[in-house]
Amino acid sequence: MEFSFIDEHPLSVKLIFNPVAGVADESPAQLMKVINELQFWKLIPETYMVEQDRDLLPVVQDALERGIQMFIVCGGDGTIESVAGTLVNTSATLGIVPTGTRNNIALSLGIPEDISAAVALLHTGRRIQVDVGFASCCEHSRLFLETCSIGLLSALFPAADDIQHGNLARIGDFLATLITSPSAEMRLVMDKQQPIVTHAHAVLIANLPYVGPHYQIAPGSPFDDGLLDVLIFSDLSKLDLLSNVVQIAAGGPEDPRIRRYHAQKVDIDTEPLMPVFADGFSLGEGPLSISIQQCALAVISGLPVHATESDNSDVTAPPASPDGMIEV
């Protein structure tokens, strides 16, 4: 689906700007540049400055009720995900100007990190519909764009995220968690097929191809096929798992012991209970249920058609492996 603006008619948009994303000292200059670039393209911004721990849902709902249909997020993956969750299954469109630390969502969607180029893409890019994941653990639930994980990767995330944002004092916490975190017996049921029972340190469920510091874990996966990428890290030691992550990030091959599947719905039970994270937010510990909402979010993309879309008229899975799962 193509999306374009009519140059002769200025369009009111909601600009949601996170002043602490990326390098905070640069935010005043970034804000002025974004506003100037938007005005150049005849996009008239109504600016909201993100406040810590402030729920963005009322902000978005108010704008929607007043007829605004374009929401531009200037920030990192966390801010983008928070706004995206409020736009799911609405007629509004999400535009992205990435200014965060990782910017995996922008990378996945072909959106440049240069502010001028990212704003220009709002005019020249394509409006596409992308899938959105939904994770539920005990009393907590959350939509996610990138990934949901259970096990060691979730346990390591808080310290790893702090380290990546420059807090090197957390290296000790990262190493301590790495040493003490146990593996677990994991029981996975995908699309109501035969259960998989395995001993593993982690399971990762991906909706978009990039996670962490630009690790490409789901290359070539369409954004609208109604399927999640499921990676089971069984038969790998902790060091094997981490070294393979570094190897993949450097463009090397993936360890053949990592088991890959495609599924629309995944239910996971573990013994002992393991921590669950979805897009960097903790959902606690306990049984995990994940599903996907196909084509639930409209977003501006810079990727060509073949890189983002599939023939989603039929999302029936390919033939299953002997254990009943869709193995890649």
DSSP secondary-structure letter at 19?
A: T
pLDDT tens-place string over residues 228-274: 999 998 888 888 887 877 777 666 778 888 899 999 999 999 999 99
pLDDT over 60 (residue 326):
no
For residue 199, give both structure tokens: 């001993």
In the chain the domains, ranked by start, together with CATH numbers, are 11-124 (3.40.50.10330), 133-295 (2.60.200.40)
- In sequence order, the 6+-apart residues with CB closer than 8 A to the CB of 175 are none
DSSP string covering 251-269: T-PPPTTSEEEEESEEEEE
Sole residue written with tokens 């200059």? 29
pLDDT tens-place string over residues 190-232: 999 999 999 999 999 999 988 777 778 777 778 899 999 999 9
pLDDT over 50 (residue 305):
yes
Greater model confidence, 27 or 321: 27
Q: Highest mean pLDDT range out of 5-19, 22-36, 282-296?
A: 282-296
**Taking the CA atoms of the chain, what radius of gyration do you get in angstroms?**
20
Task: Write phi, then psi, for 30 (nearest 5 degrees).
Answer: -65, -45
